[in-house]
Chain A
Amino acid sequence: MKKINKNREPITSEEINQNKNFKSVLNSYYKFPKKPLYKSPKLFGAVMIIIALAVLVVIENINDGEDKRNDVQHENCISPPVPSKDIEDSVYIIDPQNTDTLVHPSGTRICIPADAFVDSTGKIITSEVKLTYREFRNQSEAFLSGIPMRYDSANTTTIFTTAGMFQINAWSNQKQLTFQKNKSIQVLMSSDYNDRIGFNSYKFDEQHNKWSFTGNDSSSDYLQNKAERFFDSYQGKELPSLVKAAKRLVKSKQALRSLVKEKPFQPRKLDSKKETFKIDFDIQDFPELAGFENLLFEVQDGQSIKEKDANREWTNMKIKKSKNGLNYIVGFFGYYYGISYKVLPVFAEKDFKSAYDLYEKKSKIYQDKVNQKASEEASAASQLKAIRDSIVSFAKDKIMQDSIDALDAKVRIEAIEEEQTQIILHAQLLEQVTIVFQVEGFGIFNCDRPNILPKQMNVNMTFADSNGRDLVFDKIWLVDLDKRYTIIYYQYEAGSKIIRDIKFNPAHRNRIWALKGQDLCVISEQQLMSNFTRDSDYHLQMKCTDISKLKQYELAALLQK
């Protein structure tokens, strides 16, 4: 039994300060015995890597001369497929001694603090700096950049879904610069992709040609705070009606967006061939499942529940929604053992009707709420516009009456318009899809989600041009438009025109891009689906275009057609 102290004398800050002694911690640290080298996990790791590499080399040599099967391949370094069509840098010349905000044509804003750049000796740069910036906003731009999109983590190879990627560098007198300590650039990248659940930020290590995780994507929290701070700074100042209307618009947009969480779950009947289990969990975290009685979780993906696991006493249980939003992952944990199942919420035949009735009821309520919030948003937007127009018009009249100097009047009107534009911009900040990157070093940055590689269909492909002549490509790319990733294949079986083992998910929209020299051949998702059978061999006719003379926007249109 633990000792109970009730209303004990508190400890004061003075007492705590008197007992502070960092020197003693530091001395103990210096005296603390360090591990000898042979016990170092790093040395052990290095030895294991050397052994693993040696084994790989041996296996590789043994396999030489055998047919090489075509597994998913990846570029190992930055290699633009058509160098002349690589995405070009935009160049900005800046005065590094001043704070600056650059606005890229895409709408991306690059916020640069003063005195941010240093040369290789650590000296702060005061003369003109050339900042180069280019961004890759979709699959075709990522494809043209040739930046590897493979990500290896925990011994698993995944492929990135990209929400946005950019490369940034700074130069002075043709020498690359670095950042001063404690300084960073903020890149508010506009994106056309707003479904960013499970996305993280990564930086490409160009020396080792691999991506490194740098943090979670917290852009929406950040933007919300930024907009709120901006509005708070306007309290008590002029233009309260405009601020109020802008805030109202922001709130109504947020309210509409947050409704997605309440979208009711559509009940499904259980599959009698699959195993199910029932669990108690905190329903507050899963409002879409609230109210349903006798909800069961059906185990997916051919997993089965072992008898010993079914009878085991677990100390902890975790449940989370899977990234596709349809399934859930349920984990059971003991002190030394844990197991997880991919599951789908289902109902037994006897409970299905009442569950479906509830779903219909919830759907109606949900739709009513959506309609109501959408109408509130529309009303807030029109109110904001009306107030802004009336303020500008009133201010213009007043200034024109007061001011004798036409130039002074013009400046004052512009100032008022700018102020209101800023208020409305911040109100819209939450609506725009913006990814926030805090950049502490130069290079390539990415907001991505790693995906497991597709494996649903495994086919062999041969290709011909529109005249029926065989085509053998340098490389082909499988483009999953739903998952926003591309996978490269380029290894033909020796002496043959077949590319084997191309894996894809037929439930998704897939496209193929292929290159032979300067000829780009495309198969759209519709063409691919019209050829789709469950056979393992595909023979595809492709239309090819010489891209050497195409302009960049024509090439983009061809890739996206």
Chain B
Amino acid sequence: MSAEFNNHQSPEQLQAELADIRRAQENSAAFEILYNRYFEMIVRFIYQRVDTKDEAFEIAQQVFLKALLGIQKYTFKGVPFSAWLIRIALNEMNMMFRSNKAKRAVNIDDTQLRYIADEFDDGITEERHAMIATALAKLEEEDLMLIEMRFFEKRQFKEIASVYNITEANAKARLYRVIEKIKHILKIK
């Protein structure tokens, strides 16, 4: 099962969320609204990238602790609060992977493989799928994250761009380069 999210919010929703954030900045207990709203999304985001459920729950709690500690520094940039939480989650996971407290895993199902295979105009044989999965596992961390966000979680370029603090054009260009890398790996293998 893939973790797909639709994080688009209307200007009214963004304004309402900003009011929640302001309240959390004034009173830490008011952060609970944001915690309840985004806990499931963050757990799924992490679980897509780690090996076990326990790791996902532990990292998610850390993400919200870091968010609460840093909420005073949060500045609204016109995108949903979730983009900020995802950035924290990425940092937290990287720390956990580096310190071997959690194991990085490439979690993929047949549907996701089919999406990627479509991108390469590639066949849908079992053997080909296995090769794509292996190619993904060989990618650099940042490249793999891009593939996961775009193809597994169906995130829009605008959102990916806001997570990485880059332009949409740049996000597209980066993804294009990663796809080229995968094609390259598949050809030589």
Contact = CB atoms under 8 A, between A and B. Distances in A.
Interface of A: 1-8, 10-11, 13, 15-17, 19-22, 24-26, 28-29, 32, 181-182, 184, 215-216, 218, 221-222, 225, 281-282, 284-285, 316-320, 436, 438
A449 B35 CA distance: 36
Contacts of B183: none
Contact of B68 (A7, A11, A20, A29): A29
| Closest 8 pairs (CB-CB, A-B) | A10-B1, A285-B169, A3-B105, A2-B137, A282-B173, A19-B57, A5-B107, A16-B40
B19 A16 contact: no
B107 A26 contact: no
A513 B53 CA distance: 70
B35 A11 contact: no
Contact of A284 (B35, B78, B172): B172
A19 B52 CA distance: 14
A139 B132 CA distance: 60
Interface stretch (B43-51, B86-94, B115-123): B43-51
Contacts of A22: 31-32, 35-36, 64
B40 A13 contact: yes
Contact of B169 (A24, A29, A282, A436): A282
A319 B32 contact: no
B51 A29 contact: no
B35 A282 contact: no
Interface of B: 1, 10-11, 15-16, 19, 28-29, 31-32, 35-36, 39-40, 43-44, 47, 51, 53, 56-57, 61, 64-65, 68-69, 76, 78, 103-110, 133-134, 136-138, 144, 166-170, 172-174, 176
A184 B11 CA distance: 13
A438 B15 contact: yes
Contacts of B64: 22, 25
23 contacts: A1-B138, A2-B106, A3-B103, A3-B104, A4-B106, A4-B136, A5-B107, A8-B109, A11-B53, A13-B40, A20-B36, A22-B64, A24-B61, A25-B65, A26-B32, A32-B69, A215-B76, A218-B78, A282-B169, A285-B169, A316-B170, A317-B173, A318-B169
Contact of A28 (B36, B65, B78): B65
A421 to B, nearest CB: 25
B137 A6 contact: no
A5 B36 contact: no
Contact of B104 (A2, A21, A184, A222): A2
A318 B166 contact: yes
Given A4-B106, A29-B28, A320-B167, 14 more contacts: A2-B106, A5-B107, A5-B108, A7-B110, A19-B57, A22-B64, A182-B16, A215-B78, A221-B11, A282-B173, A316-B174, A318-B170, A319-B169, A438-B15
B78 A216 contact: yes
A32 B65 contact: yes
A222 B11 contact: yes
Given A16-B39, A285-B169, A438-B11, A182 B19 contact: yes
A338 to B, nearest CB: 12
A11 B105 contact: no
Nearest to A221: B11
B118 to A, nearest CB: 18
B43 A19 contact: yes
B108 A26 contact: no
Contacts of B19: 181-182
Nearest to B35: A22
Contacts of B167: 318, 320
Nearest to B109: A7
Nearest to A1: B137
Contacts of B44: 11, 16
A221 B79 CA distance: 14
B43 A11 contact: yes
A26 B176 contact: no
A25 B43 contact: no
B110 A320 contact: no
Given A4-B108, A5-B51, A11-B43, A225 B10 contact: yes
B47 A11 contact: yes
Most A-side CB within 10 Å, residue of B28, B31, B169: B169
Contacts of B10: 225
Contact of A4 (B36, B40, B133): B133
Contacts of B174: 316
A503 B169 CA distance: 36
A25 B106 contact: no
B172 A282 contact: yes
Contacts of A222: 11
A21 to B, nearest CB: 7
A13 B40 CA distance: 7
A516 to B, nearest CB: 45
A125 to B, nearest CB: 20
Contacts of A218: 11, 78
Contacts of A21: 61
A338 B62 CA distance: 32
